[in-house]
Amino acid sequence: MARPETGIRKRILNFVRERLLAGEPPTVREVQAAFRFKSLASARAHLERLVASGDLRRVPGRARGLRLPDRPPAARFAAVPLLGRVQAGAFDYAAEEVEGHVWTSLRYPVEELFALRVRGESMTGAGLLPGDVVIVHRKAEAADGRIVVALVDDEATVKTLRRRDGQVELHPANPSFPVLRPAPERLAILGCVVEARRRYEPAGESW
């Protein structure tokens, strides 16, 4: 059950929003009068909580300074190269041959992103199936628990990175596959998986 102050705050937000959409920003005193608060401080406290929660914003120094929050910037998209296939199970050579491109929103600089296709069933427990495309943020290190694309002896695999007593382990998400414990000189992290794609129709050049 909603607390009483939550209910009144929602009503205040609706009141302020309607006034703003009508081009008539209310003052704190008008909010006080509309909701019959005994003090101006009570109305101000509710408005400040709405500003703090991001439901409203305030223009400093203006009596009618309440505004609706700014819209987030439109997402930027770009095509990142699909570099062949990556093995999720037994290894497969990670040949950097561009098979096509995958469109994705840019949470990272486009030059730091690439895509690889998954083959094998070692990561099915993490929701990565054969034929899926993973979008990877290039980085040479990864936090414990991240799904990474790693090279072991120049062969690529998708696994969950774990650290045990200073040893890097590459864990599958399928009990039928072994945990890999490569020596440091045999291991290179290509990047962290940040997104996965699955196609339900015949593949073309671009996703």
Q: Would you state the pLDDT for residue 153?
A: 86
Q: Can you list the domains of the chain with their CATH numbers? A: 4-67 (1.10.10.10), 77-197 (2.10.109.10)
70-127: pLDDT as tens digits: 765 555 778 888 887 555 554 444 445 678 888 887 778 888 899 999 989 999 999 9
Half-sphere exposure of 201 (CA within 13 A, CB side): 4
Task: Choose among 121, 125, 79, 133: nearest CA to 103.
Answer: 79
- Estimate the share of the chain in helix, then strand, then coil, as percent rounded to the nearest 5: 25, 35, 45
Cα separation, 138 vs 16, whole angstroms: 45
Residue 1 has pLDDT above 60, yes or no: no
Catalytic residues: 122, 159
- Hey, how many other C-beta atoms are within 10 angstroms of the C-beta on 23? 6
Residue 16 has pLDDT above 90, yes or no: yes
Q: Would you state the pLDDT for residue 46?
A: 92
Cα separation, 33 vs 139, whole angstroms: 57
The DSSP code for 112 is G
Query: What phi and psi, each to the nearest 5 degrees, are found at residue 27?
Result: -85, 170
Residue 189 has pLDDT above 70, yes or no: yes
Given a contact cutoff of 8 angstroms between Cβ atoms, the answer to whether 122 and 88 are in contact is yes
Cα separation, 49 vs 41, whole angstroms: 12
- The residue with greater pLDDT, 99 or 161, is 161
Q: Would you state the pLDDT for residue 54?
A: 85
25-63: pLDDT as tens digits: 999 999 999 999 999 999 999 999 998 888 899 888 888
Task: Choose among 206, 184, 104: nearest CA to 140.
Answer: 184
Q: Would you state the pLDDT for residue 193?
A: 95
127-157: pLDDT as tens digits: 999 999 999 999 988 999 999 999 998 788 9
Cα separation, 167 vs 115, whole angstroms: 27
Q: Would you state the pLDDT for residue 150?
A: 94
pTM: 0.58
Q: Would you state the pLDDT for residue 177?
A: 96
Residue 203 has pLDDT above 70, yes or no: no
